Amino acid sequence: MKSYLSGKSSRSTIARLIAIAFLVLGISNLAQAKNPTTPSKAVVEYSHSPDSLIISYALILGEIAGSDRGPSLRIYGDGLAYVHYPVYMARAGDYGFHLSNNEMVSLLDSLADDGVIEFDTTKAKEATQLTDALRRETEGIMHHVSDPSTTVIEIHLLSYTPPGANTLKKTDLGKIVRWSGLLADARQYPDHAAIQNLASAERMLQTLMERPNLVSLEPQTLMTSPVPAKD
């Protein structure tokens, strides 16, 4: 009987120790979740100067010739933003609005989350070409868009630190993403995350251009539609 009680007591002690160990482990994991050592989001810093162009967006319409080929958006470091719609569009004219510092940070964070800052055009094109080749081989389907519009997104930052451990901060960063036929490709390649995220970023910028509080600018402050540089 003594031996039995001793064994039972020993097992009970071990069980309590295991329970305590799991409790300590749980508390430790909770603390790490609340105070992660690995950054989960990118860190962006931008100039607040009114002369610093931070974000620009242009949609160059494929079927339009001439110098004013589509709508555009420019956002500066002080939060002032300028929208341009060509004369042949329903909202023709030049408009302005203002973003607060929090709105600027949120916008840049969203663009970073959508992968715009680290978008790799070459890899994205190779992925779509591989999908096209597989579809031709297995389904006999060919993908072609005539006179596609071109999306151009440009971002200028003082610094950018990608998410994750041991990532290097990039300073004085200028990024230009240029993609033809983005709207059609977003429909054509639903499983391509890079294309879907880039399309999401474009929709977000277009939503800014459609804000209800746009202010029409006086003739002397009209801006002309920028012609973004090529990659």
The pLDDT tens digits for 79-97 are 999 999 999 999 999 999 9
End-to-end CA distance of the chain: 84
Give me the long-range contacts of 24-29 (CB less than 8 A, separation at least 24).
none
66 vs 211 pLDDT, higher one: 211
Q: What is the reported pLDDT for 230? A: 42
What stretch of H or E contains 76?
strand 72-76
Tell whether the model's pLDDT for residue 36 goes beyond 70: no
Q: What is the reported pLDDT for 163? A: 84
Structural contact between residues 188 and 71, judged by C-beta atoms closer than 8 angstroms: no
Q: How confident is the prediction for the chain on average, in pLDDT? A: 81
Q: What is the reported pLDDT for 224? A: 44
Q: What is the reported pLDDT for 192? A: 95
Q: What is the DSSP string of 10-48?
A: HHHHHHHHHHHHHHHHHHHHHHHHHS-SS-SS-EEE---
Q: Put residue 73 in one of left, alpha, beta given phi > 0 → left and psi -120 to 50 → alpha.
A: beta
How large a percentage of the chain has pLDDT more than 90? 58
Binning pLDDT at 50, 70 and 90, where does residue 204 land? very high
- The answer to whether the Cα torsion of 62, 63, 66, 69 is positive or negative is negative
* Phi, psi of 84, deg, nearest 5: -130, 130
Interatomic CA distance for residues 134 and 114, integer angstroms: 27
Q: Read off the tokens for 174.
A: 């200028």
Interatomic CA distance for residues 230 and 121, integer angstroms: 12
Tell whether the model's pLDDT for residue 47 goes beyond 60: yes
Q: What is the reported pLDDT for 80? A: 97
pLDDT, tens digit (0-9, with 9 covering 90-100), for 134-173:
888 887 766 666 668 999 999 999 999 988 766 788 999 9
* Phi, psi of 27, deg, nearest 5: -65, -40
Tell whether the model's pLDDT for residue 99 goes beyond 60: yes
pTM of the model: 0.74
Most confident of 7-11, 14-18, 140-144: 140-144
Cβ-count burial of 160 within 10 angstroms (0-12 exposed, 13-18 middle, 19+ buried)? buried
Q: What is the reported pLDDT for 213? A: 86
Average pLDDT, stretch 46-62?
A: 96
